Amino acid sequence: MCSDDFQPRLRAADLKRLAEARQTRLLEEGATLHPVVNSTRKLAGNFWGSAWMKQLALCEAGGMCLAPGRTLLRHGCVLDVQLSPCTITALVSAEELYEVELRLSPMEGEQLDALAAACSGHIDSLLSLLEGRLDTAVLQLLCHPENGLLPTPHDWRMRCSCPDWAEPCPHAAAAIYAAGCLIDTEPARLFTLRGITPSALLKPTRTEALDSDSLSAMFGIDLELPPQP
């Protein structure tokens, strides 16, 4: 079963106790940790963090089992998360302390060109992009569930030191949600994870600017971009 009714093998109190003890031990050993704890219902409150969580909800509706990750995150089990280009690494406490490495396919080629073409002339500033203050049509493209900035299930490559063969296992799912919490406070991290810089969507690419009909055909949606200023 994959739902918010997921019950870990350990009780919540035991999960928290083990996580706190392991975190204390690691710090005493000189480790540098970047823990993420989030017990809120929505897990994110800003634009890109919320978009990340909505994309995960779509992935879950498509069969990707993620609820165990929410449970671990809310119980303080994500002891360390680090984001780098196309990579998430994490330490997640559960029955044991597990090492997680998640890799994302970089955004490149035609997909990146189409997004850049859509954004060209329609973004007032880098701040507008990071805060999601854009035309509705541009946001439709950037947040497209299959061709936008947000990763799909096919984009992930997952490795965890646990014996669970599921993809994602509960510990990988916890790391994915924790990454979304970091993106919620620092949206530029999303671009880092996709292997691009935000400015890549503000500059011309090797593809000439596409019109609304071309973009609609590429993304499979009806849209009408406002005229460029």
Separation CA 115–CA 209 (nearest Å): 10
**Any domain includes 156:** yes
> Tokens standing for 158?
């997952």
Task: Give the pLDDT confidence of 63-92 residue by residue, as tens digits.
Answer: 899 999 999 999 999 999 999 999 999 999
Q: What is the pLDDT of residue 75?
A: 93
Q: Is residue 74 one of the residues assigned to a domain?
A: yes
What pLDDT is stored for residue 157 in this prediction? 94
pLDDT (tens place) for every residue of the chain, 229 residues total = 454 444 557 788 899 999 999 999 999 999 999 999 998 888 999 999 999 999 999 999 988 999 999 999 999 999 999 999 999 999 999 999 999 999 998 888 888 887 887 777 777 778 888 888 888 888 888 888 988 899 999 999 999 999 988 889 999 999 999 999 999 999 999 999 999 988 878 765 444 444 555 545 545 555 455 555 5
pLDDT in the model for residue 8? 58
Residue 4 counted as domain residue: no
Answer yes or no: is 227 within a domain: no
Q: What is the pLDDT, as a whole number, of residue 206?
A: 44
Domain count, the chain: 1
**Does 228 reside within a domain?**
no
Residue 226 lies in a domain: no
SS3 sequence of the chain: CCCCCCCCCCCHHHHHHHHHHHHHHHHHCCCCCCCECCCCCCCCCCHHHHHHHHHHHHHHHCCCCCHHHHHHHHCCCEEEEEEECCEEEEEEECCCEEEEEEEECCCCHHHHHHHHHHHCCCCCCHHHHHHCCCCHHHHHHHCCCCCCCCCCHHHEEEEECCCCCCCCCHHHHHHHHHHHHHHHHCCHHHHHHCCCCHHHHCCCCCCCCCCHHHHHHHHCCCCCCCCCC
Predicted confidence at residue 146, as pLDDT, reads: 87
Range of the domain at 124: 12-219
